[in-house]
A and B are shown apart, each in its own frame.
Chain A
Amino acid sequence: MSTEIFGFDGVNVWVDGLVRVLLIVGFMTVVVMGLIYGERKILARFQQRLGPTRTGPVGLLQSVADALKLVGKEDLRPRNADAWTFELAPYLVFVPVFLGFVIVPFVLDWQVRILELGLLYFVAVTGINIVGWIMAGWGSDNRYAMIGGMRAAAQGISYELPLVLSLLAVAMVVEVPSDSATGESLRGSLNLNEIIAAQAEIPNLVWQPLVLIVFFIAALAELNRTPFDIPVGESEVVGGPFVEYSGIRWSMFFLAEYAALLIMSLIFAAVFLGGWAWPAGLFQDDPWPRWAQALLVTGKAGLFIFMVFWVRASVPRLRIDQLMSFTWKILLPLMFAQVLINGLVLVYDWPEIVLTVTGLVGVLVLVMAVDRAVRHPRPRPAPATQLEGEAAS
């Protein structure tokens, strides 16, 4: 069995696979270090601070120094920890995220594999890391970690749904290049390259504003980012499942977190902002040269990442019950409605502007629902009226 890589024909599939894995891991590690530096600098600017300045020019080598420090640190395991669970957990968080990179389209034809069911593969694979979180929470023999792990599980599973539904909503209406044999226009694809190519002129952002917002929110939750950083909430559960980890294992969690951020941003760029295709398709039929595509994708992904950082600097954390209500009572019904409307548009061949209009209405409903939820909060659990025993101690 042989395949082709970088124009070399007849390469053994195993060698091919290894090269691709190494490339991805190496590339990712470097990019994640850049991301961490970027986050620290950007957050610092939001807070009128300087951020890292010491290592290297304007602190550029800070992440390298951190990585070296983490690798050099002792890998501690609490005595009562469940050894296997504790030690394996980081891999179960780390590996799925990197598996997700298989389908990420960086630029045209530059990706590990083009999968026909790319999006399905993506949501299937990245969903696994919840197991790793629970294992970390359980295995640490720490109550903060356990609470954090449980929160992570609840949150991860709940927000998986709006995330999948939002991707589904987009995938079902995507226009696939017409089959040359029949000349019929086809709808619906899970292949990311096709989804991107279909947005050459108008990105999905225009047709699916609600889906975009829901995807952004759900992605924040999936990434455990503020305001959904409940599992790791520093001021409550002091790091949650990570609280007992140190050294290399901790850095694996960290790496996975930022790698996931990068994947999400690339998927976001691909699914909603037209990846490498838009706005190039507006001016010419051929795609732009690869470097321009790369810049384009970087810019779009960077926008998403900047938004994530910006939100992190500005918003408080939700509480666990609010988080759950928000997804099950607001996001999920909205997404079901959107999927339904997309289906109606497909079946009855309504003009696409219907999508935009309903999407905007959906955004309005979302805003109003949030406002209403804030104005009329759920009644609190009945306060303990009787404090007997050590009264008020």
Chain B
Amino acid sequence: MSTDDNAAGTAEEAQVEVVDTFDDTIWDTVNRTLRAVDVRPERSALDLIIHIPHADIIRGLRMLKQDADLQFNYLRCLTAVDNESEGIDVVYQLYSVPKNINLTVKTTLPNENKVIETATTVWKAANWLERETAEMFGVSFSGHPDPRPLLMPEDIDMSDTYPLLKSHPFAEIDVLQGEILGHDRDAEGEG
């Protein structure tokens, strides 16, 4: 279970507090691989989560893919989480086919500047996933080879609001029931 992932404590505190509990994970290897990058570990219910600053994300991901002990050559999933005032997390679920290990990589983008480098240069699988994330959260992936919207209609301008942001309103639905409908059939008549 998640232990302490709240952003309440500072990153350093969290690291000091948590490091001991990563014995059974691949944290040591990951940490060694990502020496050059500022990394912070965390635990999810299943996998190890590491936080990488967004400036270093592609460098970090490429190291993770190319390291001989890790070989994260398979991108399971790429998405984002809207943390409202705390910015947007972009989440990468990695898997290593040769080593059979999993890793979650997270990076936080500030709300003012939701720009991140594209991961399609690391895995081609990121292509559509990034397009989806871009149109749903307004995260722009710089250098993406094909930055069209994926799922949303082409003829609707969604540039001011993004569907999966918490601030995006629900659609108004006509409620076809009760008094609103004028459900008195006799009065309504045929037609």
Contact = CB atoms under 8 A, between A and B. Distances in A.
A182 interface: no
B79 to A, nearest CB: 19
Interface stretch (A131-139, A204-212, A385-393): A385-393
B127 interface: yes
Interface in B107-146: 120, 124, 127-128, 145-146
Interface in A339-393: 389-393
Contacts of B148: 393
A393 B125 CA distance: 10
Contacts of B146: 389-391, 393
Contacts of B120: 391
Contacts of A389: 145-146
Interface in B60-112: none
Interface core residue of B124, B128, B145 (most chain A CB under 10 Å): B145
Contacts of B127: 391-393
B159 to A, nearest CB: 21
A389 B128 CA distance: 14
Q: Is the interface of A mostly helix, strand, loop or mixed?
A: loop
A217 B2 CA distance: 68
A386 to B, nearest CB: 13
A392 B146 CA distance: 9
A393 B146 CA distance: 7
A392 B120 CA distance: 10
Interface in B133-165: 145-146, 148
Contacts of B128: 393
Interface in A34-64: none
A252 to B, nearest CB: 40
Nearest to B120: A391
Contacts of A391: 120, 124, 127, 145-146
A272 B108 CA distance: 79
A391 B130 CA distance: 13
Contacts of A393: 127-128, 145-146, 148
A16 B147 CA distance: 73
A390 B146 CA distance: 5
A247 B7 CA distance: 69
A154 B184 CA distance: 65
A393 B128 CA distance: 7
B152 to A, nearest CB: 16
Nearest to A393: B146
Nearest to B131: A393
Contacts of B145: 389-391, 393
A391 B147 CA distance: 11
A390 B124 CA distance: 11
A391 B124 CA distance: 8
Contacts of A390: 145-146
Nearest to A389: B145
B75 to A, nearest CB: 13
B145 to A, nearest CB: 5
B121 to A, nearest CB: 10
Nearest to B145: A391
A389 B146 CA distance: 8
A354 to B, nearest CB: 63
Nearest to B125: A392
A51 to B, nearest CB: 39
A392 to B, nearest CB: 5
Contacts of B124: 391-392
Interface in A315-356: none
Interface string A178-194: 00000000000000000
A182 to B, nearest CB: 82
B144 to A, nearest CB: 10
A390 B128 CA distance: 11
A390 B148 CA distance: 10
A393 B127 CA distance: 7
A65 to B, nearest CB: 31
A393 B148 CA distance: 10
Given A391-B145, A393-B128, 14 more contacts: A389-B145, A389-B146, A390-B145, A390-B146, A391-B120, A391-B124, A391-B127, A391-B146, A392-B124, A392-B127, A393-B127, A393-B145, A393-B146, A393-B148
Interface of A: 389-393
Interface of B: 120, 124, 127-128, 145-146, 148
16 contacts: A389-B145, A389-B146, A390-B145, A390-B146, A391-B120, A391-B124, A391-B127, A391-B145, A391-B146, A392-B124, A392-B127, A393-B127, A393-B128, A393-B145, A393-B146, A393-B148
8 tightest A-B CB contacts, nearest first: A390-B146, A393-B146, A391-B145, A392-B124, A390-B145, A392-B127, A393-B127, A391-B124
